[in-house]
């Protein structure tokens, strides 16, 4: 009898999205916050949902984060989320907080739910006030639905400088019931989680309490969203929010549940997919870069090293220029406080060995340049110091990144 691993039990849902799980609806309208683009959206659950969230570590947390924290703290459950793009409502003082409260109230009234059961999120320019008249008029037009068009409208409305929607959908059988995870995210610049100008919304029809959903999300976030970087800047509005409405009708999940590991892996695969899509769509990016570190003293240290490499502007620019300058990688490793032996490090670009036991390897510059000219680059590092493993994702740093951010408000 074949014993399946947790990852083998999970199937990707083709065209998966925020509405893949049972019992969720979305909608979006063009309220005029971003000229004529879709810029105001809602997620609605037909049943009350357990919830969990993680937020930016930036000390200037935006008003919507404070309001969402209050909503979740009240009862630990949500039924809706309201999001706008074009204005971050960050560093806006008492008025900004009042506007976030009003935005929550408008959504609650429109959707027929209690105010404390609504989360709020915003993304866009920092230091500008929301036009609440436009928000109110837009909210009056919101009509949540279940179609692919409804999903795509919401997934588009949350974008700012992003070039593409970011979505995912996965499923696994738990307690004989098919449990789904779906999600969407935005994020392109100011990305260096814990976390960055990144909003991620994940839905699941799993039955699980808010307490254990928070436990699962925290462990998953450390391995996914907190392992991506575009430019090293952490924003004021980052939020990852998960809602679980229980409509799959599995037995409630706890760490003692025999299929707890399956659910955590299900959630992890959804979050990793969204995280990688954010990294790939970094402002001005031409390549997705994955760093894989093995042989660290712990998984945590492996993740530190991986993120240090992917966060190095010198590494990122070398990759943009298709320059196999592995010296930049070894310098990035050396800047960490990870435990290592400077004489036992291996580095490879894809299958091309650059360094073995900290000594240079002969390689074809032409072959390396050809590899680095692709749109997906893998950097492999082995510290040969322990059993810890970790990954991080990012992108190259191009001329267009400067162009985009030099005129972000215009």
The catalytic site residues sit at: 197
Instruction: Give yes or no for a contact between 174 and 265, defined as CB atoms under 8 angstroms apart.
Output: no
Distance CA 235, CA 126 (A): 9
Q: CA-to-CA distance for 187 and 193, rounded, in angstroms?
A: 11
SS3 for 222?
helix
Q: Are 293 and 379 in contact (CB under 8 A)?
A: no
Q: Are 110 and 72 within 8 A, CB to CB?
A: no
State which H helix or E strand residue 41 sits in. strand 40-55
- Residues with Cβ within 8 Å of 146's Cβ and at least 6 positions away in sequence, in order, are 19, 24, 25
C-alpha angle 312-315-321 in degrees, rounded to nearest 5: 140
Q: Which residues contact 229 (CB under 8 A, 6 or more apart)?
A: 191, 192, 193, 196, 279, 307, 310, 311, 392, 394
Instruction: Tell the burial category of 199 from Cβ atoms under 10 Å away from its Cβ (0-12, 13-18, 19+).
Output: buried
Name 247's Cβ contacts closer than 8 Å, sequence gap at least 6.
Answer: 21, 22, 23, 46, 47, 205
Name residues whose C-beta falls within 8 Å of residue 405's C-beta, 6 or more positions apart in sequence: 189, 283
Strands laid side by side in the 228-229 sheet: 228-229, 388-395, 288-296, 376-382, 346-349, 352-356, 359-360
Is residue 310 within 8 A of residue 352, CB to CB? The reply is no
Q: Could you give the C-alpha distances from 324 to 349, 353, 372, 379, in angstroms and in order?
A: 8, 11, 8, 11
Q: How many residues does the chain have?
A: 410
- How far is residue 147's CA from residue 128's CA, in Å, rounded to a whole number? 34
């Amino acid at each position: 009898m074949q014993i399946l691993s947790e990852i083998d039990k999970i199937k990707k849902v083709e065209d998966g999205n925020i509405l893949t799980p049972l019992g969720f609806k979305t909608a979006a309208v063009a309220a005029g916050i971003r000229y004529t683009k879709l810029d105001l959206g809602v997620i609605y659950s037909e049943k009350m949902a357990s919830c969990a969230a993680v937020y930016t570590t930036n000390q200037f947390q935006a008003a919507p984060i404070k309001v969402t924290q209050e909503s979740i703290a009240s009862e630990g459950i949500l039924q809706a989320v309201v999001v706008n793009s074009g204005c971050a409502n960050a560093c806006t003082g008492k008025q900004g907080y009042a506007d976030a409260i009003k935005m929550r109230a408008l959504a609650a009234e429109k959707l027929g739910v209690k105010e404390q059961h609504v989360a709020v999120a915003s993304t866009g320019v920092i230091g500008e006030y929301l036009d609440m008249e436009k928000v109110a008029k837009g909210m009056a037009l919101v009509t949540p639905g279940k179609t692919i068009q409804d999903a795509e409208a919401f997934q588009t409305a949350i974008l700012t400088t992003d070039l593409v929607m970011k979505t995912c959908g996965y499923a696994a059988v738990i307690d004989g019931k098919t449990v789904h995870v779906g999600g969407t995210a935005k994020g392109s610049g100011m990305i260096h989680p814990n976390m960055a100008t990144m909003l991620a919304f994940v839905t699941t029809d799993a039955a699980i309490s808010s307490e254990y959903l928070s436990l699962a999300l925290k462990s998953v976030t450390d391995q996914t969203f907190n392992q991506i970087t575009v430019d090293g800047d952490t924003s004021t509005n980052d939020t990852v929010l998960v809602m679980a409405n229980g409509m799959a009708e599995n037995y409630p999940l706890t760490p003692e549940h025999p299929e707890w590991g399956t659910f955590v892996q299900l959630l992890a695969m959804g979050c990793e997919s969204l995280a990688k899509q954010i990294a790939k769509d970094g402002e001005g990016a031409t390549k997705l870069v994955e760093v894989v570190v093995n042989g660290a003293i712990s998984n945590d240290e492996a993740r530190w090293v991986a993120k240090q490499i992917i966060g190095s502007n010198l590494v990122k620019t070398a990759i943009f220029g298709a320059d196999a300058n592995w010296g930049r990688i070894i310098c990035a490793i050396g800047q960490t406080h990870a435990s290592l032996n400077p004489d036992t490090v291996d580095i490879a670009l894809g299958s091309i060995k650059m360094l073995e036991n900290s000594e240079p390897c002969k390689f074809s510059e032409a072959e390396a340049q050809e590899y680095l000219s692709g749109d997906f680059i893998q950097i492999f590092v082995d510290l040969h110091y322990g059993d810890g493993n970790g990954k991080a994702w990012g992108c190259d740093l191009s001329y267009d990144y400067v162009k985009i951010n030099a005129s972000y408000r215009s």
